[in-house]
């Protein structure tokens, strides 16, 4: 039996036939109904050279079609969502194999596309907020969220306002539509990007306790001025040659967030990702968190993926874009 997959080859997406993925012990075989795109997709794609191909996709929602011999968390027919494993083939295929420990139960109230928009950014935001920043329900203070209209910021705002109500979110967003979007998600204060230090000080004269940053290059000196002593900066980007010494005078810390770290390093608590996805699904179904989906691309899957990647790489996207795959037709 063969299936359709949509790898990137020579800088563009193509449709190929491939064998059904072989399952490892804890794997699920998932029939993929929808995927979404993230910056990691085009970062990986940029490294695919001429004559090479790579199956991208680090978000999916679908139905369990088979389980590995050691899998015990899900059964055939279960609806799931997850972000996958960057060291394996991605989700851009009709059938995809994934370790069940990083899989969550799909929010019942969401469509396939709405669910597929959430996993990678939800894991990233959760780990940044509750593992690196160590936020608790009792915390108070200001959290600066840079680039808040993107995928991570869009879910992070909601998680903070739902679970840490004493923390005020200062969100940066450039365009009017982006500013309206982050306000709709619950941001307490919305500022532009051009006068970051001045605008933050106008809201929080004493400074901020936490900073979530997808744009750390060129901003760390400003962060060092704004962060309170013993504050925490969490970076999701990969700036070359970043000099962290400016944070020392505040005894502030810089944390790297890499949501694939657990599964690629076989962390003892790798199943924490599955648990947090299921918890967020419960929050979605309870109405305290909503999907960050803003755009669906349909039609031939290679074309839809090209369009979604073009939107993301333009820097003008808000929230998340999803692609409807063959499994949902």
Burial of 209 (0-12, 13-18, 19+ CB in 10 A): buried
What length does the chain have? 329
Q: What is the mean pLDDT of residues 17-31?
A: 97
Contacting residues for 218 by C-beta, under 8 A, at least 6 apart:
none
Q: What is the pLDDT of residue 326?
A: 60
Burial of 16 (0-12, 13-18, 19+ CB in 10 A): middle
Contact 213, 219 (CB under 8 A): yes
Q: Provide the b/e sequence for 41-70 (b: ≥16 CB within 10 Å).
A: bbebbeebeeeeebbbbbbbbbbbbbbbee
3-class secondary-structure state, position 197:
helix
What are 156-194's pLDDT values in tens digits? 999 999 999 999 999 999 889 999 999 999 999 999 988
Q: What is the mean pLDDT of residues 8-34?
A: 95
3-class secondary-structure state, position 305:
helix
- Residue 329 pLDDT exceeds 60: no
> At CA 8, angle to CA 6 and CA 11, rounded to 5?
145
* Interatomic CA distance for residues 183 and 185, integer angstroms: 5
What are 245-283's pLDDT values in tens digits? 999 999 999 999 999 999 999 999 999 999 999 999 999
Closest among 173, 169, 253 to 204, alpha carbons compared:
169
Handedness of CA 264, 88, 37, 327 (dihedral sign): negative
37 confidence band (pLDDT: 50, 70, 90): very high
* Interatomic CA distance for residues 277 and 102, integer angstroms: 8
What are 114-173's pLDDT values in tens digits? 999 999 999 999 999 999 999 999 999 999 999 999 999 999 999 999 999 999 999 999
* Interatomic CA distance for residues 187 and 303, integer angstroms: 35
> At CA 49, angle to CA 48 and CA 51, rounded to 5?
110
- Residue 327 pLDDT exceeds 50: no
- Residue 210 pLDDT exceeds 70: yes
328 confidence band (pLDDT: 50, 70, 90): very low
Of residues 98 and 314, more confidence is placed in 98
Q: Structural domains in the chain?
A: 2-118+267-328 (3.90.180.10), 121-256 (3.40.50.720)
Q: Provide the b/e sequence for 86-99 (b: ≥16 CB within 10 Å).
A: bebbbbbbbbbbbb
* Interatomic CA distance for residues 8 and 16, integer angstroms: 10
296 confidence band (pLDDT: 50, 70, 90): very high
Beta bridge partners of 254: 233
Token pair of 307, please?
A: 């369009």
Q: What is the mean pLDDT of residues 62-84?
A: 97
Q: What is the pLDDT of residue 220?
A: 94
How confident is the prediction for the chain on average, in pLDDT?
A: 95
Read off the pTM.
Answer: 0.96
Closest among 238, 276, 328, 317 to 38, alpha carbons compared:
317
Token pair of 269, please?
A: 């608590």
Neighbours of 286 (CB within 10 A): 11
């Amino acid at each position: 039996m063969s299936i359709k997959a949509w790898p990137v080859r020579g800088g563009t997406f193509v449709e190929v036939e491939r064998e059904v993925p072989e399952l490892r012990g804890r794997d699920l075989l998932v029939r993929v109904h929808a995927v979404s795109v993230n910056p990691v997709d085009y970062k990986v794609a940029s490294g695919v050279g001429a004559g090479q191909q790579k199956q991208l996709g680090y978000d999916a929602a679908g139905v369990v079609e088979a389980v590995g011999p050691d899998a015990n968390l899900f059964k055939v027919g279960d609806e799931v969502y997850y972000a996958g494993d960057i060291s394996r083939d991605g989700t851009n295929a009709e059938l995809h194999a994934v370790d069940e420990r990083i899989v969550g139960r799909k929010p019942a109230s969401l469509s396939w596309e709405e669910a597929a928009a959430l996993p990678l950014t939800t894991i990233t935001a959760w780990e940044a907020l509750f593992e690196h920043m160590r936020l608790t329900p009792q915390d108070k203070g200001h959290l600066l969220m840079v680039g808040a209209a993107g995928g991570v910021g869009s879910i992070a705002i909601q998680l903070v306002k739902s679970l840490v109500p004493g923390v005020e979110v200062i969100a940066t967003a450039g365009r009017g539509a982006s500013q309206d979007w982050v306000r709709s998600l619950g941001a307490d204060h919305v500022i532009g990007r051009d006068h970051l230090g001045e605008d933050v000080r106008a809201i929080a004269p004493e400074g901020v306790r936490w900073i979530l940053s997808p744009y750390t290059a060129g901003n760390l000196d400003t962060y060092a001025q704004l962060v309170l002593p013993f504050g925490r900066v969490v970076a999701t980007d990969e700036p070359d040659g970043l000099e962290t010494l400016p944070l020392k005078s505040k005894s502030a810390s810089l944390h790297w967030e890499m949501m694939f770290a657990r599964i690629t390093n076989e962390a003892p608590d790798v199943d924490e990702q599955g648990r947090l996805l299921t918890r967020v699904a419960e929050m979605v179904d309870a109405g305290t968190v909503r999907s960050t989906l803003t755009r669906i691309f349909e039609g031939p899957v290679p074309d839809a993926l090209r369009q979604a990647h073009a939107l993301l790489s333009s820097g003008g996207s808000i929230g998340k874009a999803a692609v409807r795959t063959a499994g949902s037709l």
